[in-house]
Amino acid sequence: MFNIFDYVKEDEVIELTRELVKIPSHVDTPGREKEVAQFIYEFCKKEGLETELIEVDGERTNVMAYIKGEGDGKTLLFNGHTDTVPPYDMTIEPYGGEVKDGFVWGRGGNDMKGAIASMLIAMVGLKRAGAKLNGNIIFAGVIGEEERSEGTEYLVKNGIKADGAIVGEPSNYEYAIGHRGLEWLEIKVKGKAAHGGVPNLGVNAISKAAKLILKIEEQVMPKLKDRDNEFMGPSVMNFGKIEGGNQPSTVADWCSIKIDRRYIPGESVESVIKEYQEVIDILKKEDPDFDAEITRMPNNMLTLDHLYLITDENHPIVNSVKKSIKEKIGKMPEITRRRGWTDAALLSGFAKIPTVVTGPGDIAYSHTKDEKVPVNQLVDYVDIYAKIAIDFCNQ
């Protein structure tokens, strides 16, 4: 039986993760993902993998690597984002890449440079072994997932083709074949300014916004609780931010409410917006001074909707994932049913590539002040990804 660790050492995935963590690649970094993409490109070249940098947004590039198959088997796409969230107020050195207590510590190790390392070392092992694959393997290290998913949107719009894909978000030996779509909405409530000494001459937008929030809680939220999907859980929403007015002594002539809305099959962007618009229309009828409009927030996406992910539970890529994880952990893996939005939805919804989310790490460690990724999972996922590739590409 093929053993990937006859061709790569466990230390190689640990060291690669550390080196990736040491390179800042968040929104406030000059060049953002430029340096980490260049590092991956040079690593792949050194290991003899066919590789290229693809310009997406100025200096920001996707980095691609390939193993060409020798037959007419299935093509597998590995997808991982090279950007991270900023370090915020981390309690550890964010770019130290220290190995301690069974973890690699630092920003992005868990989300998701560790998965990128596991994917690449799996490909390196297959390359060194001269593994005879019928199908191709494509690795895509993409920009911008933490912001507007520019990298994966570029792949989709430029015709990426594959028979199945893996997005390596941290999964703790579980896998996801579904997650909710994501929409960020802003409702701008309009008022009329007046001096605080004569508030009756104005229309207070903050007060009107409070009525709107209560109405949404009464009319929209109860409906969401009744909507549920087996693979992604219920429809949900959150009031994430509210601001308005200019100073205490002036009647507020504006108020903004920003909403995070997670939706499931049976819902759409249009139906989601319509529900809020219906509440706005009711309040307009009840109160002639009420005025508001709802818009989609542009920083949630580039041009493609952040759809939900849903992959057929019996698709060959799902079977390969289940089989490969089971061989590693000795039992059938669980399905993650309530995870955040990922680039998998773009690959599945727009490129029509059946996609599964699975990768080293635990989502509970993502974006934290002491982000870390378990060393044993980095190592195990080298084996899991190699097994998935062999099983899937040779079908």
Q: Are residues 162 and 94 in the same domain?
A: yes
- Split into its structural domains, the chain has a count of 2
Spell out the alpha helix ranges (H) of the chain: 10-21, 34-46, 114-129, 150-157, 205-219, 221-225, 269-286, 316-329, 344-349, 375-393
Spell out the alpha helix ranges (H) of 164-231: 205-219, 221-225
Q: Are residues 162 and 224 in the same domain?
A: no
Q: Are residues 128 and 195 in the same domain?
A: no
In the numeric block, the tokens 């409530």 are attached to 189
CA distances from 325 to 73, 82, 320, 330, 377 (A): 21, 24, 9, 8, 11
Is the CB of residue 141 less than 8 Å from the CB of residue 63? yes
d(CA 181, CA 14): 33
Q: Are residues 172 and 320 in the same domain?
A: yes
Instruction: Out of 270, 300, 330, pick the residue that ends a domain.
Output: 300
Quote the pLDDT of residue 299. 84
Q: Are residues 138 and 16 in the same domain?
A: yes
Rounded to 5°, the CA angle 339-344-348 comes to: 125
Quote the pLDDT of residue 62. 98
Q: Are residues 319 and 262 in the same domain?
A: no
Task: Kindly report whether the global pTM for this prediction surpasses the value 0.85.
Answer: yes
Q: Are residues 12 and 160 in the same domain?
A: yes
Query: In this structure, what CATH number is given to the domain that contains residue 277?
Result: 3.30.70.360
Quote the pLDDT of residue 130. 94
Q: Are residues 150 and 11 in the same domain?
A: yes
Instruction: Out of 268, 300, 332, pick the residue that ends a domain.
Output: 300
Quote the pLDDT of residue 338. 85
d(CA 135, CA 68): 7
Q: Are residues 123 and 212 in the same domain?
A: no
Q: Are residues 121 and 68 in the same domain?
A: yes
Quote the pLDDT of residue 358. 98
Query: In this structure, what CATH number is given to the domain that contains residue 381?
Result: 3.40.630.10
Q: Which stretches of the chain drop beneath a pLDDT of 50?
A: none
d(CA 287, CA 299): 32
Q: Are residues 254 and 316 in the same domain?
A: no
Rounded to 5°, the CA angle 30-31-37 comes to: 135
Domain of 78?
A: 4-179+308-393
Instruction: Out of 274, 300, 326, pick the residue that ends a domain.
Output: 300
Q: Are residues 272 and 315 in the same domain?
A: no
